[in-house]
């Protein structure tokens, strides 16, 4: 009797651990698309509990005050695995006051959720993921609002994006908070946005934790971005972005990177065990050198990094597969600073003392004893300065972002 019971337990354990159980997918593709097309302003579209498979993109256009609500992030699953039509999973454009909440979206060919030209967007308690091994054939973005206004993303999870898990681009008025991003190339990326707050998020096990970038050939320049009260740790994952993407240049082991943008504050974050660099403040000229946009300013200006908690295990070595990692080891063997600035300034804005004036000045405040360095990137890294006193300064602080939702 004892032996039979023991064998039954062992058999049950083996069956339970031998692989995932077969999922019974339901087909609601035509039904859901019809609901979205026929929805009236103010409607709520309910997604029931279950697993639902889609062969093509689901779209919503030109609607106001629509809510798309699932039964819960762990109850409603929209799968686009094997998608044969379109690229995005959920594609939304030209809407006003849209809310997405309480579901999981998986394995789209391109971006999981793309929202364009929308004023008033709330994405809450949604998971967007690629369920297999992180690889360059995964879609670029899990969450992808672009050219929007008044964007709130909260209590969301992003996994497996070959560019950025949570990306907001060319938008005005953005808050990303209480989210988790892991196994993406970039965990959270704010690109060419004006007025964005990124706070109380967990960005871990990505290639780079949080990026604040400006890129050329886009509709607006970014400014007024605050990154604070986040946990940004162990972002040492391999870079699996397709070659040619700008994030392909981000070295594994990057906590925060600020590239070619204006008026950024980084404060009150825990930036922990990112092996190559805790925070990098760099110009576009350092990573790409050339661009064809006459309106693009490649220099970084008006950055303030203060009151962050930096930690890194002493045996962590920077990646040697990227130039920044080689530079860190070459210039700072076994004693790399947590913060670097490339030292490349716009010559048209430099004053007689060789620095920017107060409007554009880059400042490193008290970061609990963490070291920083000016690596003199514009002069072939010849005159590296640790804790350069010219950059130990304070700036006026940016105002909190307030959304009109």
* 164 pLDDT more than 70: yes
Q: How do residues 45-86 score in pLDDT, each as one tens digit?
A: 999 999 999 999 999 999 999 999 999 999 999 999 989 998
Q: How do residues 341-362 score in pLDDT, each as one tens digit?
A: 999 999 999 999 989 999 999 9
pLDDT of residue 4: 41
Taking alpha carbons only, the member of 361, 357, 318, 355 closest to residue 336 is 318
pLDDT of residue 318: 77
Mean pLDDT of the chain: 91
pLDDT of residue 324: 77
CA 374 to chain CA mean position, Å: 26
Residues whose CB falls within 8 Å of the CB of residue 95, separated by 6 or more in sequence, listed in order: 60, 61, 62, 63, 64, 66, 115, 117, 118, 121
* 101 pLDDT more than 80: yes
* 378 pLDDT more than 60: yes
Residues whose CB falls within 8 Å of the CB of residue 197, separated by 6 or more in sequence, listed in order: 174, 175, 176, 177, 225, 226, 228, 400, 401
* 11 pLDDT more than 60: no
Cα→Cα distances 26→48, 129, 295, 298, 375, Å: 11, 19, 50, 49, 57
pLDDT of residue 289: 67
**Average pLDDT rounded to a whole number, residues 378-400:** 89
Number of residues in the chain: 405
pLDDT band at 10, cuts 50/70/90?
Answer: very low
Q: How do residues 264-282 score in pLDDT, each as one tens digit?
A: 999 999 999 999 999 999 9
pLDDT of residue 24: 86
pLDDT of residue 20: 54
**Average pLDDT rounded to a whole number, residues 272-298:** 89
CA 167 to chain CA mean position, Å: 5
* 207 pLDDT more than 60: yes
* 8 pLDDT more than 70: no
């Amino acid at each position: 009797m004892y032996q039979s019971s023991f064998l039954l337990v062992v058999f049950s354990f083996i069956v339970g651990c031998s692989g995932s159980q077969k999922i019974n997918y339901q087909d609601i593709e035509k039904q859901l698309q019809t609901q979205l097309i026929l929805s009236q302003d103010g409607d709520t579209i309910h997604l029931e509990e279950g697993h639902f498979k889609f062969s093509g993109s689901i779209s919503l256009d030109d609607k106001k005050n629509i809510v798309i609500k699932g039964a819960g992030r762990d109850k409603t699953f929209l799968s686009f695995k094997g998608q044969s039509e379109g690229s995005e999973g959920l594609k939304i454009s030209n809407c006003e006051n849209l809310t997405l909440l309480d579901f999981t979206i998986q394995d789209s060919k391109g971006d999981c959720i793309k929202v364009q030209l929308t004023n008033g967007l709330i994405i809450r308690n949604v998971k967007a993921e690629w369920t297999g091994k992180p690889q360059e054939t995964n879609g670029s973005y899990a969450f992808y609002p672009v050219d929007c206004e008044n964007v709130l993303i909260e209590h969301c999870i992003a996994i497996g994006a070959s560019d950025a898990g949570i990306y907001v681009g060319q938008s005005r008025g953005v808050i990303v908070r209480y989210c988790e991003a892991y196994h993406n190339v970039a965990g959270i990326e704010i690109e060419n946005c004006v007025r964005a707050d990124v706070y109380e998020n967990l960005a871990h096990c990505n290639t780079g934790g949080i990026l604040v970038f400006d890129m050329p050939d886009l509709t607006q320049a970014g400014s007024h971005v605050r990154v604070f009260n986040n946990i940004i740790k162990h972002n040492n994952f391999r870079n699996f972005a397709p070659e040619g993407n700008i994030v392909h240049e981000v070295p594994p082991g990057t906590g925060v990177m600020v590239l070619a943008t204006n008026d950024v504050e980084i404060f009150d974050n825990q930036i922990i065990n990112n092996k190559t660099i805790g925070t990098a403040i760099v110009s576009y000229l350092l990573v790409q050198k050339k661009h064809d946009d006459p309106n693009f300013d490649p220099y970084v200006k008006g950055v303030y990094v203060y009151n962050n908690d930096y930690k890194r295990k002493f045996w962590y070595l920077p990646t040697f597969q990227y130039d920044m990692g080689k530079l860190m080891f070459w210039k700072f063997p076994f004693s790399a600073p947590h913060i670097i600035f490339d030292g490349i300034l716009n010559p048209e804005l430099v004053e007689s003392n060789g620095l920017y004036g107060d409007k554009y000045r880059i400042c490193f405040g008290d970061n609990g004893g963490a070291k920083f360095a000016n690596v003199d990137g514009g002069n072939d890294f010849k005159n590296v300065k640790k804790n350069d006193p010219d950059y130990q300064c304070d700036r006026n602080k940016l105002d909190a972002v307030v959304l009109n939702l």
